[in-house]
Amino acid sequence: MKSRQSGYEYAVRSYVLIATLAASLVGLTCAQAAQAPKVVTLQANGKTLVVRKGAELQLRLTERYRWTVPRVRGTAVRLTRIAFFRDPGYLAWSVAARARGKAVVTAVGYSRSTEQGCDPGPCSPHLFRVTFVVR
């Protein structure tokens, strides 16, 4: 009778260990992707943001750089340029989460030209990339 109980206890401990490991792996996966803020800025560079389907966000890029038009790889989000009557000091795009999946938004910013020119590197590119995961 004792051997049955120890075998049962061993099985329960094994299941608890497996469940704990599985829960910790789920926690690690969720920790890497942050919930998306309403306004996405350069601080989100290199991050993965989780967005609900149907959500509307705003992507803002500072005018300290001359930006290429942001490119979207994937069909989960759609970018629409926002035109302002008065210059707010940044460029903005509306980000619509339209389908479940993943989309990567990239843009390249170049420093504004100065009297010194581009040597040794004030005109070097500033890369911006953010990944949206739509659920």
Residue pLDDT, tens place only, 84-94: 999 899 999 99
User: pTM of this prediction?
Assistant: 0.68
CATH node for 36-134: 2.60.40
CB atoms within 10 A of CB 38: 8
Residue 65 sits at the vertex; the CA angle it makes with 116 and 95, to the nearest 5 degrees, is: 175
At 14-32, the pLDDT tens digits run 665 566 656 655 544 444 5
pLDDT the model gives residue 128:
96
- Spell out the domain ranges in the chain: 1-33, 36-134
Q: What is the C-alpha to C-alpha distance for residues 78 and 107, in angstroms, rounded to an integer?
A: 15
At 65-74, the pLDDT tens digits run 889 999 999 9
Average pLDDT, the chain: 81
Q: Which residue has the higher pLDDT, 94 or 10?
A: 94
pLDDT the model gives residue 82:
94
How many CA atoms are closer than 13 Å to the CA of 120, on its beta-carbon side? 0
In the block, tokens 């790889």 appear at: 73
